[in-house]
Homo-oligomer: A and B are copies of this chain.
Amino acid sequence: MIVVLKPNLTKKQEAAVLREIRKLGYRPHVMRGVARTVIGAIGDEQTHHTLETLTAWPQVESVMPVQKRFKLTSREAHQPNSQVKVGKNVVIGGDRFHVMAGPCSVESEKQIIDTAKAVKAAGATVLRGGAFKPRTSPYEFQGLGEKGLKLLAKARKETGLPIITELLSENHAEMVAEYADILQIGARNAQNFQLLIAAAKTGKPVLLKRGLSMKVEEWLLAGEYVLANENPNLMFCERGIRTFETYTRNTLDLSTIPIVKKESHCPIVIDPSQGCGRADLVMNLCKGAAAMGADALLIEVHPNPAEAWSDGAQQLTLDNFKQLMDELPPFVAASGRTMA
């Protein structure tokens, strides 16, 4: 770490800071500059006690970390791209581009099976569908629960598509893992570390959405909770951050595609449906994400969005989805991949 001292300290005041730095396990290195004295504290920031508490000292103006705080998710820790195997035949993070599609919520057998067949026919390789829904209001539809999971399993049986569904509660981890091929951690739970640990321990692939106001570093650190619990099958999913803009529900930060590729070895998936909250923008955002090198898309598709039990405004119709899949290949090809 770098410790910047306030101007005009006495020798004694400065010595006290140096003593504390040594006590916390670092070797201090003093540089006297024009306007400030700066101390380089040499030592491993990931294993030693943090020096940031020094900012509580009256002698100290600021403390700046030098090292990145994430380890296992970092590209330095693992040079090649990680590939996550989903179900029997799907590999996310390789040279094939995947599309995960399905309704926001599972509503009925007919709804999920019709959707599954349609998205498969159009080229999707994973089926999404929510059985447990985190809703801003307790008076909104909360999902069908285990019944929804059973319907997803039925849809998988009929179509062969592996399924991704959200895990909401530590107490459901085993149950959901029994049915799902990928456990999705939603944006509102992205720093619910107990849930991340529970998900990791099932051994199933985990898709970690970015929290609404999560910095990239915090997101990679949350992923660290999965890898550190011995589950290497982690994917990051950008789904828009909260900003001042109200035209879109969230602001989809597509720059996370090159950023995650640069900083981490884990796959990056883009969710444009949550990302903008408007079906009329989804198609365009999918093309951008594919062109920029995302490993996969996660798209909400519903046979009749206007009657959907949740988030109707952002779900594509089956026809919209087919059109999207027809138009996507040149964008995928431009990024050097092929459609799965």
Contact = CB atoms under 8 A, between A and B. Distances in A.
Contacts of A44: 34-35
B34 A306 contact: no
A315 B56 contact: yes
Interface string A297-330: 0000000011110011111000000000000001
Interface residues of A, number: 109
B36 A2 contact: no
A287 B336 CA distance: 12
Contacts of A189: 191-192
A56 B305 contact: yes
Contacts of A76: 7
Interface stretch (A85-93, A113-121, A157-165, A251-259): A251-259
Contact of A171 (B54, B139, B170, B315): B170
A96 interface: no
Given A2-B38, A57-B306, A170-B170, A218 B136 contact: yes
Nearest to A34: B44
B330 A54 contact: no
A18 interface: no
Interface in A173-212: 188-189, 191-195, 211-212
Contacts of A66: 2, 4, 33, 35-36, 38
Contacts of A64: 2, 64
A43 interface: yes
Contacts of A169: 170, 194
Given A54-B306, A57-B306, A169-B194, 6 more contacts: A35-B45, A50-B140, A69-B136, A217-B247, A287-B334, A288-B288
22 contacts: A29-B31, A31-B40, A34-B42, A38-B40, A50-B312, A53-B307, A56-B279, A56-B313, A56-B315, A69-B139, A171-B171, A188-B192, A215-B244, A215-B247, A241-B244, A241-B251, A247-B259, A248-B259, A257-B288, A291-B292, A291-B331, A333-B334
Interface of A: 2, 4, 7, 20, 29, 31-36, 38, 40, 42-47, 50, 52-57, 64, 66-67, 69-71, 76, 134-140, 168-171, 188-189, 191-195, 211-213, 215-218, 221-222, 224-225, 228, 241-248, 251-255, 257-259, 262, 275-276, 278-281, 284-285, 287-293, 305-308, 311-315, 330-331, 333-335
